[in-house]
Amino acid sequence: MKNIRMEITASKRLQSIGAYAFAEVDKEVEKLKAMGITPIDFGVGDPTVPTPDVVRKATQKGITLRKSSGYPSYIGASEFRQAIAQWIQKRFGVQMDPATEISSTIGSKEAVFNFPEGIVNPGDYVIIPTPGYPPYTRGTLFAEGIPYYVPLLSENKFLIDLNSIPEEICKKAKILWINYPNSPSGAIAPLSYLKEIVEFGKKYNIIIASDEAYSEIFFGEPPHSILEITKDGVIVFNSFSKRSAMTCYRVGWVAGDKRIVDIFKKVKTNIDSGTATFIQDGAIAALSDETHVEKMRAEYKVKRDLLVDAFHRIKLPDCTPEATIYLWQKVPDGMTSVVFAQKLLSPEIAIVTTPGAWISDKTANGLNPGEGYVRFALVPSIKDTREAARRIKKILPKAL
């Protein structure tokens, strides 16, 4: 028999999407490292501080406690869901039923990606902010839905302009994704705006999917949750990754309308498994402690202010974020986001960022609202951020 090499072809669904933007950032980092240069990496939003002691100790204890626990619950241990309900009550003043209105998740990414599978039929629209988290789009496409992108613009304070969405799209849409505090702009949505979002959803029978992963990283007044307006027609996604530097742990939750949470649970049960129960033990400990969160907020603010000042010194527009771990910096006039990011990547500067165009999708009229910006994830140490600020002030102007 001849040694015939079989043909392997990816599905059309997979072929329809490009490379994951943050994987492209990693490639640029590797290029610098190959040159013997260790860059200061503001590219991917992965906290570099150690996971808090209180979390690590509870997780270690949980490994022994759960030594014969078997498979974890798909929807989370009852004590974990109870802890989430108590935290939501304390933080937002909203009562949740842990048995019916909350489910654990393996972080936010799998939940965001898989959620449309339970709601969207082929040809249904999903309204998605851009720039935005890539799984909003990828999950829609894998569910055979159609993304409709709404640009987040500085003139609208990076809030979705609901009036700009065509009536025919509204009537065909099943989900509207919102993300406040917003990645990458750092904008916070006022309570009055969240009320408008809820009214919009009810008017058109659209589920509001609110990604609140950055709800605890803020620099002024605490942001609101859409749950403060209503649970009806709403589902919230949250995570421990940014709040408690638990990106490695893969644990989070959804909360909201029982009918929607029921659908999510059915999808989850058929697609994946539960987060390890000993990790849930660590997450419960994280929710019981606000001291480490306050400390992280303070450190992010120091890093934010160092970079904001550096860009102010070289006469770039002020882009001070209200919240999140990101700086959404406008680039010099007449320069693309990719070119500006490349200048920052020059060996003498060696600062890694994410070009805004890479994490934005073109709208119906061809606008890429991420063009003209670069995103800094404030994850390097304060020491490294201070050095990056020095390079921006002293070296970058020579390259512009």
| pLDDT-wise least confident of 10-24, 82-96, 158-172, 223-237 | 10-24
Would the pLDDT of 257 be above 60? yes
Cβ-in-10-Å burial (0-12, 13-18, 19+) of 62 comes to: buried
Would the pLDDT of 42 be above 60? yes
Phi/psi-derived region of residue 216, left when phi > 0, alpha when psi is between -120 and 50, beta in every other case: alpha
What would the pLDDT profile of 275-302 be if each residue is shown by its tens digit? Answer: 999 999 999 999 999 999 999 999 999 9
Q: How far apart are CA 395 and CA 348, in angstroms?
A: 8
Confidence class for position 18, pLDDT limits 50, 70, 90: low
Asked whether the beta carbons of 267 and 139 are under 8 A apart, the reply is no
Closest CA to 314 of 387, 394, 249, 384: 394
Residues in CB range of 268: below 8 A, 6 or more apart: 74, 75, 103, 105, 111, 114
Would the pLDDT of 1 be above 70? no
Would the pLDDT of 58 be above 80? yes
Asked whether the beta carbons of 147 and 360 are under 8 A apart, the reply is no
Q: How far apart are CA 389 and CA 383, in angstroms?
A: 10
Would the pLDDT of 19 be above 70? no
Mean pLDDT value across the chain? 93
Q: Report which secondary-structure segment, H or E, holds 91.
A: helix 78-92
Query: For 255, phi and psi rounded to 5 degrees?
Result: -150, 145
For strand 125-130 and strand 373-377, is the pairing parallel, antiparallel, or unpaired? unpaired
Closest CA to 135 of 170, 174, 108, 161: 108
Q: Report which secondary-structure segment, H or E, holds 85.
A: helix 78-92
**What pLDDT sits at residue 177?**
98
Confidence class for position 27, pLDDT limits 50, 70, 90: confident
Q: How far apart are CA 64 and CA 85, in angstroms?
A: 26
Mean of pLDDT values over 78-99 = 98
Would the pLDDT of 2 be above 70? no
Q: How far apart are CA 232 and CA 50, in angstroms?
A: 38
Mean of pLDDT values over 347-376 = 92
3-class state of residue 239 by DSSP? strand
Asked whether the beta carbons of 188 and 181 are under 8 A apart, the reply is yes
Could you give the strand order of the β-sheet that contains 146-151, starting from the edge strand earlier in sequence? Answer: 102-105, 252-256, 234-239, 207-211, 173-179, 125-130, 146-151
Confidence class for position 22, pLDDT limits 50, 70, 90: low
Mean of pLDDT values over 142-154 = 96
Whether residue 134 has a cis bond before it, omega within 30° of 0: no
**What pLDDT sits at residue 24?**
64
Q: How far apart are CA 159 and CA 11, in angstroms?
A: 35
Cβ-in-10-Å burial (0-12, 13-18, 19+) of 395 comes to: middle
Asked whether the beta carbons of 289 and 265 are under 8 A apart, the reply is no
**What pLDDT sits at residue 25?**
65
Closest CA to 45 of 237, 247, 335: 247
